[in-house]
Amino acid sequence: MELRQLHYFVSVAKKQHVTHAAEELHVAQSAVSRQIHLLEEELNLQLFVQKGRNLQLTPVGKLLLNKIEGILSDLERVVQEAHEFLDPNKGEIRIGFPHSLGVNLLPTVVACYRKINPEVKFRLKQGTYNSLIRDLTNGEIDLSFISPFPENHALVSGQILLTEELYAILPAQHELANEVSLHLSQLKEEPFVMFSEDYSLRAIVLDACKRVGFVPKFGFEGDETDTIRGLVAAGLGVSLLPEMAITERGPLQPAKVRLQEPKVTRTIGLIRRKGEKIPPVAERFQTFLIDYFKEK
């Protein structure tokens, strides 16, 4: 069995047509047909059946496709890691991040790193708390920023990079908008603009309100910090946001007031799969991030 046979098999399975597969592979149609025939002979299996002008996978062909795609993906990753091992200043860093870090923190650290390692590429994946951990454990990414940092997780490990304060945000015309600080209980009668259930900031806000004796009234829900900030600025409620998510972009901005009691914070960490080696290029970026936040 040859590697090119596996590539040809996957292409035909996806295109359901030898001619279209040959065009994608930039080879003659006869070469594709011959390699598929040789593969079926070697395995003693029928992988395709003719359906009109198309080829469809047999049940055993479908089973084989799933396995072969995994093998080719693993092989591609091994070759990439080998190149990265020879030169960890090149290669691709696959990293996840929550939306609230995508406005400022992530672009800043990526730009700083590329100044000293301009040939490194980044593959970025945005997600919620649970989806980032899932993508990490499934091997789709090698590192991930996360908030809050997951203590004592069975599948991931890492370190806290920083702890960030959350502020109350209010419509600019709110009676408390010009206060230096406020007690969270002063907002108990206000409608809250909340993150949806998939977002960790929702749990942080609910917990803070519970600590001072009330359950917030839900006015509106949103999935991104820009949405939360915009709805509050439009006068539709109040909320709590991390400082780095309260950036002035556009004419409509909420008022930002420090919380005197209770002090509400979130941890931001960097995680990786527990007990597994990651590519050298990602390992070097992890070291850079730890040093970067120590200096900050």
Q: What residues make up the domain containing 229?
A: 163-267
Instruction: Read off the pLDDT of each residue in 151-164 and give the average, rounded to a whole number.
Output: 94
- In this structure, the answer to whether residues 230 and 213 fall within a common structural domain is yes
Q: How many domains does the chain fold into? A: 3
- In this structure, the answer to whether residues 174 and 149 fall within a common structural domain is no
Query: CA 185 to CA 260: how far, in whole Å?
Result: 10
pLDDT tens per residue, range 94-105: 999 998 898 789
Query: CA 132 to CA 56: how far, in whole Å?
Result: 35
Instruction: Find the largest Cα–Cα distance for the chain.
Output: 80
Q: Give the CA distances from residue 293 to residues 109, 200, 247, 287, in Å, rounded to whole numbers and listed in that order.
A: 10, 22, 20, 10
Nearest to 68 by CA among 82, 49, 47: 47
Q: Report the CATH number that the domain containing residue 13 is assigned in CATH.
A: 1.10.10.10
Query: CA 279 to CA 85: how far, in whole Å?
Result: 7
Is residue 272 over pLDDT 90? yes
pLDDT at 94: 94
- In this structure, the answer to whether residues 151 and 273 fall within a common structural domain is yes
Is residue 262 over pLDDT 70? yes
CB count within 10 Å of CB 46 equals: 12
Q: Locate the DSSP E strands across the chain.
A: 48-51, 54-57, 92-97, 121-126, 143-146, 156-170, 181-183, 191-195, 217-222, 239-242, 255-261, 265-273
Instruction: Read off the pLDDT of each residue in 174-179 and give the average, rounded to a whole number.
Output: 96
Nearest to 31 by CA among 56, 59, 55, 11: 11
Domain boundary among 59, 86, 113: 86
- In this structure, the answer to whether residues 58 and 187 fall within a common structural domain is no
Q: Give the CA distances from residue 165 to residues 43, 79, 268, in Å, rounded to whole numbers and listed in that order.
A: 61, 43, 11
- In this structure, the answer to whether residues 116 and 130 fall within a common structural domain is yes
Is residue 164 over pLDDT 90? yes
Distance of CA 170 to the CA centre of its chain: 29
Domain boundary among 57, 86, 115: 86
DSSP 99: G
| Contact by Cβ (8 Å): 201, 229 | no
- In this structure, the answer to whether residues 209 and 174 fall within a common structural domain is yes
- In this structure, the answer to whether residues 31 and 109 fall within a common structural domain is no
pLDDT at 250: 63
- In this structure, the answer to whether residues 141 and 275 fall within a common structural domain is yes
- In this structure, the answer to whether residues 260 and 171 fall within a common structural domain is yes
Domain boundary among 37, 69, 86: 86
Query: CA 79 to CA 86: how far, in whole Å?
Result: 11
pLDDT at 92: 87
pLDDT at 249: 63
pLDDT tens per residue, range 277-292: 888 889 999 999 999 9
Is residue 106 over pLDDT 70? yes
* 3-state secondary structure (DSSP) of residue 238: strand
Mean pLDDT of all residues in the chain?
Answer: 91
pLDDT at 91: 82
Q: Report the CATH number that the domain containing residue 126 is assigned in CATH.
A: 3.40.190.10
- In this structure, the answer to whether residues 224 and 251 fall within a common structural domain is yes
- In this structure, the answer to whether residues 49 and 187 fall within a common structural domain is no
Q: Report the CATH number that the domain containing residue 187 is assigned in CATH.
A: 3.40.190.290
Query: CA 61 to CA 123: how far, in whole Å?
Result: 32
Helix (H) or strand (E) holding 296: none
pLDDT at 257: 96
Helix (H) or strand (E) holding 201: helix 200-211
- In this structure, the answer to whether residues 146 and 290 fall within a common structural domain is yes
Instruction: Read off the pLDDT of each residue in 34-53 and give the average, rounded to a whole number.
Output: 91
| Contact by Cβ (8 Å): 259, 184 | yes
Question: What is the DSSP code string of 104-117?
Answer: THHHHHHHHHHHH-
User: What is the value of pTM for the model shown?
Assistant: 0.69
pLDDT at 52: 87
